[in-house]
Amino acid sequence: MQGRTMNWNDVHLQDCIDGMKHLESGSVDLVFADPPFNIGYAYDVYQDKRSDDEYLHWSKGWLSEVRRILKPNGTFWLAIGDEKAAELKVCCTHELGFICRSWVIWYYTFGVYCKRKFTRSHVHLFHFVKDAKDFTFNDDAVRVASARQLKYNDKRANPKGRVPDDTWVLLPMELENELTADKDTWLVPRVCGTYKEREGWHGCQMPEAVLERIILVSSNAGEKVLDPFTGSGTTLAAAKKNGRQYLGFEISEEYRQQSRKRLEQINETLF
């Protein structure tokens, strides 16, 4: 099945492993994946509670396809929770040969209540590449103002700002006066129930600002961005808004149609 023509700039109703098998090896610039965490979340179609062995076997299957379709200088970002972060990182690096360039912690407040443990308030974002010396990293596209610039007016400061740290803070309201721009942290609103960005039909919606930073730093205009688990369509929306080609796979017809509607509302593309 590999090599069959696959229409880009669309969401395909298809299992991601089967879908990626239709793509040429080494043809995609950037993959972002936010897979089910295997914690029993109530998705529309997918059953999010497999045995550990089954989940890891399934994960290795789609991760292997991601590595195959990535260009030699391509980049793969993986969002994952605590339960399987260690196992999937080992699978990617030790078994599949990915190189981990960054291990980003995306921190947020209004975390998920957990019984008899501390409230969950972070997600792991693994930044993988195939070649440690040849990959896209557009640091100038994501720089933030530094403390040297804003607070100390230091002439030694890079006028372009600093590359953000690897802990990304999503605007904790009780700390907003303390975690200001001069702290070099990433201040982005989380998609809560009252936020305008919230679509409302998918409970695991990523903020566009998270995906925008990833897309800007790890791809260039006109390049191909793929999301194996389209969900609410945030990856594809951010890709379209920033002039990238996009492709998503989704097994839920409801999620697929809602994502398509979201994409149709974005009028301007740059490629």
- Residue-level pLDDT at 159: 82
- Residue-level pLDDT at 194: 47
Digitized pLDDT (tens) for each residue of the chain, 271 residues in all: 444 568 999 999 999 999 999 999 999 999 999 998 887 566 666 676 888 899 999 999 999 999 999 999 999 999 998 889 999 999 999 999 999 999 998 887 655 666 787 777 788 999 999 999 999 999 999 887 776 666 667 777 788 888 888 887 754 443 444 444 444 344 454 454 544 554 454 455 688 888 999 999 999 999 999 999 999 899 999 999 999 999 999 999 999 999 999 999 997 554 4
Angle at 229 between CA 231 and CA 92, to 5 degrees: 145
CA proximity to 259, closest of 35, 12, 22: 12
Helix (H, G, I), strand (E, B) or coil at 55: helix
Distance CA 14, CA 209 (A): 27
DSSP state at residue 240: H
CA proximity to 95, closest of 60, 129, 147, 140: 60
Radius of gyration, alpha carbons of the chain: 19
Q: What is the pTM of this model?
A: 0.83
- Residue-level pLDDT at 48: 67
How far does Cα 230 stand from its chain's mean position?
11
Burial (Cβ within 10 Å: 0-12, 13-18, ≥19) of residue 178: exposed
- Residue-level pLDDT at 151: 66
- Residue-level pLDDT at 6: 84
Residues 6+ apart with CB under 8 A from 33: 62, 66, 76, 77, 78, 79, 227, 228, 229
- Residue-level pLDDT at 260: 94
Structural domains present in the chain: 10-264 (3.40.50.150)
- Residue-level pLDDT at 49: 81
- Residue-level pLDDT at 107: 80
CA proximity to 240, closest of 258, 227, 253: 227
Distinct helix (H) and strand (E) counts, the chain: 7, 8
**Residue labelled with tokens 């972060």:** 85
